[in-house]
Amino acid sequence: MAREVAAVILAAGQGSRMRSDLPKVLHRLGGVPLMAHAMAAARVLEPAHLVLVAGHGAEAVSAAAAKLDPEAKIALQSEQKGTGHAVAQALPLLDGFEGRVLVLYGDTPFIAPQTLEELAGHSADIVVLGFEAADPGRYGRLVVGAEGLEKIVEWKDADAATRQIALCNSGVLAADAGLLRELVGRLGNDNAAGEYYLTDVVGLAREAGRRVDVVTCDEAETLGINTRIELAAAEAAFQSRARAAAMEDGVTLTDPATVWFALDTAVGRDAIIGPNVVFGPGVTIESGAEILPFCHLEGCHVSAGATVGPFARLRPGAELGGDVHVGNFVEVKNSVLHEGAKVGHLTYLGDAEIGEGTNIGAGTVTCNYDGVMKHRTVIGARAFIGSDTMLVAPVTVGDRAVTGSGSVITEDVPADALALGRSRQVTRPGLGARIMESLRAQKKERG
């Protein structure tokens, strides 16, 4: 970009039509808060500043923003007095900045990075994002003349001829920082709502002889979320795009309609994703890996050649090396499985490191939690963990070591050793049959 860019994301509204105690911008779309989509689009421009304007539920919004981008700045709009007032709260955090400011909305998730680049790079002093609406309805209309954008007319103020205009206002705009400070400072609230409207800067700029213009985008990019119904429609649109993008990039989705992506899901070429797979945030699947049906993955990394599932769960911190196999009803959390490790079925691995080529038998559990703290289990390379082994952490099992089935391992096991941690079996001939006979007699007596 020729000029530095700053992004201001308006996220202060309550969203009363959502019928929710949760701030609107924290409702999830693609596995992440709504506002994360606007933040992600803005980050493509590598902004010098990213400011989020919080109001309703400001503490929760601020905490979520910090997780999404620790460098994001928060401006507080304690009273919601309109979009112009919201931008005014953000401007002090841009003191000294003289580049281009983009004003975005936390509840408008689909504006493409390319559209933002066009806004940021436009030569006009102010540029407004517009769209041709199939049904303009009650949108504000953009009146364009020979010298660019002449004015924005709200539907309620528009005459019949103006209402015939299909070019509508999205609310998104870009302006030079110095000019934006000047014009926002001159906004008035002499209107029925008593609010300060950001759209009024267009008229003020024209009066000052400044150039104002329009950039247009597809209507779908400007979709705003105001109700649960609109949120569901947006989720469907997001998933449709994510599935198409994955397949265009060379990923096989055997039943695309049943695969659910998050905003940041990354799947490599020639990976195969089976039916009914759900990706939460923070998942990377390398080329050639396969995720079998009915798996749930979040915050994990799956290397090339690995297979997961069916019916497996990978939780945050799961790292699967090349050619690792995680089978059915296996849960992995905060654990590293090195190349070629195999965990076939019915196993929980939490806070563990599993060495190269090691086999974990069915029913194995790393007992990682003592009720207060988590502890780590380390298993070396090419070890064999017998079925139904309980590994009571902290504990280490050495390379090529073996544990007997049904063992409870409470002490470290040296390399090449066999560890047995179970009671000696006692067999009483005939006693089983006598016990069963007695129980059946008792049952018969009781009727």
**Residue spans per domain, the chain:** 5-222, 248-419
Q: Which listed residue (122, 296, 345, 375) is catalytic?
A: 345
Question: Is 375 considered catalytic here?
Answer: no
Query: So what's the pLDDT on residue 443?
Result: 94
pLDDT band at 313 (very low <50, low <70, confident <90, very high): very high
How many other C-beta atoms can be found within 10 angstroms of the C-beta atom of residue 21? 8
**Weakest-pLDDT range from 99-108, 141-150, 373-382:** 141-150
Query: In this model, does residue 165 exceed pLDDT 60?
Result: yes
The DSSP output letter for 72 is -
In 3D space, the residue among 303, 388, 374, 304 whose CA is nearest the CA of residue 344 turns out to be 388
In whole angstroms, what is the distance from residue 228 CA to residue 182 CA?
Answer: 38
Query: So what's the pLDDT on residue 360?
Result: 98
In 3D space, the residue among 56, 9, 3, 55 whose CA is nearest the CA of residue 34 turns out to be 9
Query: In this model, does residue 1 exceed pLDDT 60?
Result: no
Six token digits for residue 116: 């933002």
Average pLDDT along the chain = 95
Q: What is the mean pLDDT of residues 310-333?
A: 98
pLDDT, tens digit (0-9, with 9 covering 90-100), for 258-277: 999 999 999 999 999 999 99
In whole angstroms, what is the distance from residue 371 CA to residue 367 CA?
Answer: 11
Residues 5-222, CATH architecture: Alpha-Beta Complex (3.90)
In CATH terms, 248-419 corresponds, of 2.50.20.10, 3.60.70.12, 2.160.10.10, 3.30.465.10, to 2.160.10.10
Interior angle at CA 223, CA 299 and CA 256, nearest 5: 50
Single pTM value for the model: 0.90
Q: Hey, which residues does 307 pair with through a beta bridge? A: 290, 325
Query: So what's the pLDDT on residue 44?
Result: 94
Q: What's the CA dihedral at 389, 395, 399, 404 to 10 degrees?
A: -20
Sign of CA dihedral 110, 112, 115, 119: positive
